């Protein structure tokens, strides 16, 4: 992960730009009088249990989970364990 040191004045002047960098994966260390006082890094996405997601569905939803759902997901994961090639993403 890339790390960027900036002053609090730089943060105040360029907040949107700094947040764009953080969102892109850069860790930003904010310095005051040449001493680090804060670290900004991208927030981790909130993870929820499937039961929480199902409970949040509207009453009229027709979504259902069949009894083999977990096995189907595990089967998919097991069949796709090859390493990713980041060059394919470009």
Query: What would the pLDDT profile of 34-69 be if each residue is shown by its tens digit?
Result: 999 999 998 887 777 878 888 888 888 887 778 888
Q: Rounded to whole angstroms, what are the CA distances from 58 to 8, 49, 53?
A: 45, 17, 10
**Count of domains forming the chain:** 2
Asked if residue 21 belongs to a domain, the reply is yes
Cβ partners under 8 Å of residue 37, min gap 6: 8, 30, 31
The CATH number linked to 20 is 3.40.1620
The answer to whether the predicted template modeling score (pTM) of the entire model surpasses 0.75 is no
CA separation for the pair 65, 26 (Å, rounded): 39
Question: Which pLDDT value is given to residue 47?
Answer: 77
Question: Which pLDDT value is given to residue 52?
Answer: 82
Q: Are residues 8 and 32 in the same domain?
A: yes
Give me the domain span that covers residue 57.
Answer: 50-80
Asked if residue 17 belongs to a domain, the reply is yes
Structure tokens at 60: 């009229």
Query: What would the pLDDT profile of 9-42 be if each residue is shown by its tens digit?
Result: 999 999 999 999 998 889 999 999 999 999 999 8
Question: Which pLDDT value is given to residue 68?
Answer: 87
């Amino acid at each position: 992960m890339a790390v960027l040191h900036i002053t609090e004045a730089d943060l105040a002047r360029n907040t949107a730009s700094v947040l764009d960098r953080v969102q892109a994966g850069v860790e930003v260390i904010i310095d005051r009088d040449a001493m680090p006082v804060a670290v900004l890094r991208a927030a981790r996405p909130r993870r929820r249990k499937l039961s929480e997601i199902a409970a949040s569905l509207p009453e009229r939803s027709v979504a259902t989970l069949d009894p083999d759902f977990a096995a189907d997901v595990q089967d998919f994961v097991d069949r796709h364990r090859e390493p990713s090639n980041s060059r394919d993403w470009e």
